[in-house]
Amino acid sequence: MIEQPPWPYASAERRWYGMGRYYAMFPSRFAFDAINGLTRAGDRVLDPFCGRGNAPFTAAVMGRPSLGVDINPIAWLYTAVKLSPDPKPGRVVRRLEAIGRAARTNDRRSRSGFETMAWSPDVRAFLKAARRELDWRFSVTDRTLMAFVVHHMQDKRGHGLSNALWPTIACSPHYAVRWWAGHGLTHPPDVDPVAVLGDKIRRRYAYGTPSQSDGKAVLGDAASVLQSHVSLVAKLLITSPPYKGVTDYWNDHWIRLWALGQSLKKDWKRATRYENQNVYCNLLKRVFTQSKRHLTDDAFILVRSDRRHRTAEICREILQQTWPKKCLFIRKSDAQFEGVSMYHGRGGSKAQELDFLLVSDNIPIWMKTAGFVECYDRLSYLK
């Protein structure tokens, strides 16, 4: 059974929750249940590795001001737009049409086999104009439109702007070209990008935009951001750090990152799979230590981790070192990947995850019903 998001299909919350394909995202029920059980309206919520923003978005629509931080511009874009989309769809559509007009003849040219097979000349021209013209960092309208562009530029054939591509993880250009050729898909679909995106914008805005508490997304390394660029006092830290040696969030988004100004290729200097144990430990130590400064003394800390020993054990150790006075509880999760990963990514398999919950002496009732048990020693949770 796949968990369904907590909002009805015909609601602004559900429509905007779905914005942004992102690998390894939280199931919506995970964030919703925890925020419901561990906070009250008005309490602040922090997610220092926020990905596509499921936790900060869920918190904000539940009346909890939130802060999400992520180092990946794609994650930041989705989170920032979900927390604060342009409230006027007409403005986004007018900007879309302006970008369509800004495309130059030269923009239709392809510079690689990948470009030729991925997008039609009209789509290529549109994407290059969007890349050049949209001020996604500073303008809310441009940012909202850019979120639609990157969401739909890499999709299943017939669903968005591209030839057949995994909607979540971007495969290598050589693999894509070989795969298209082998499946007789050498010609990208001939679509009108302004018409396709106009339709996507109308559907997303069908129920307006959600009413939300203040939500903020910050782009950058969470440790540096939390050290000097933000002030908040949160009652809940809810997060999921990268899993050690599993996902390379930079190169898995190389196609979409191109739309935000990077080059159209993988960049191994930016690879972030955290294979190295010391580098991984250091990341968790720095981010949790800086997060601690922004939490109330009785704050709850809920961290979803990979159940595999190498990640789980490092995570447990660092959490206990950072919050030695709190009690640690754990829960194994067998929830299946929901939504985006399930339907479009490498879904279908069981998630092998482990939730760590740190509490002071204020044991919440929710914790017992949610299946947490106390963790006494380093190995007990792996049995």
- Cα 125 from Cα 214, distance rounded (Å): 37
Q: Judged by CB under 6 A, does residue 70 bind ligand SAM?
A: yes
Write out the two tokens for 106.
């030269």
Crossing angle, helix 121-133 and helix 89-102, to 10 degrees? 110
Cβ pair 359, 353 in contact under 8 A: no
Tell me which residue of 242, 248, 287 sits closest to 269, measured CA to CA: 248
Per-residue binder mask for ligand SAM (CB under 6 A), 254-283, x = binder:
-----------------------------x
Per-residue binder mask for ligand SAM (CB under 6 A), 170-209, x = binder:
----------------------------------------
Among 39, 58, 72, 251, binds ligand SAM (CB under 6 A): 72
CB-nearer residue toward ligand SAM: 128 or 244: 244
CB-nearer residue toward ligand SAM: 213 or 291: 291
- Cα 224 from Cα 245, distance rounded (Å): 23
Give the interface segment with ligand SAM, choosing from 66-74, 98-106, 186-194, 352-360 (CB under 6 A).
Answer: 66-74
Among 3, 221, 313, 317, binds ligand SAM (CB under 6 A): 221
- Cα 51 from Cα 144, distance rounded (Å): 17
Tell me which residue of 349, 357, 310 sits closest to 332, measured CA to CA: 357
CB-nearer residue toward ligand SAM: 20 or 188: 20
CB-nearer residue toward ligand SAM: 85 or 193: 85
Q: How many residues does the chain have?
A: 383
Task: Give min distance, CB of 283 to ligand SAM, in A.
Answer: 6
Among 65, 215, 242, 339, binds ligand SAM (CB under 6 A): 242
How is the chain split among helix, strand and coil, in percent rounded to 5?
45, 15, 45
Q: Judged by CB under 6 A, does residue 356 bind ligand SAM?
A: no
Dihedral of CA 171/176/180/185: which sign? positive
For ligand SAM, the binding residues (CB under 6 A) are 22, 24-26, 49-52, 54, 69-72, 75, 221-222, 240-242, 249, 283
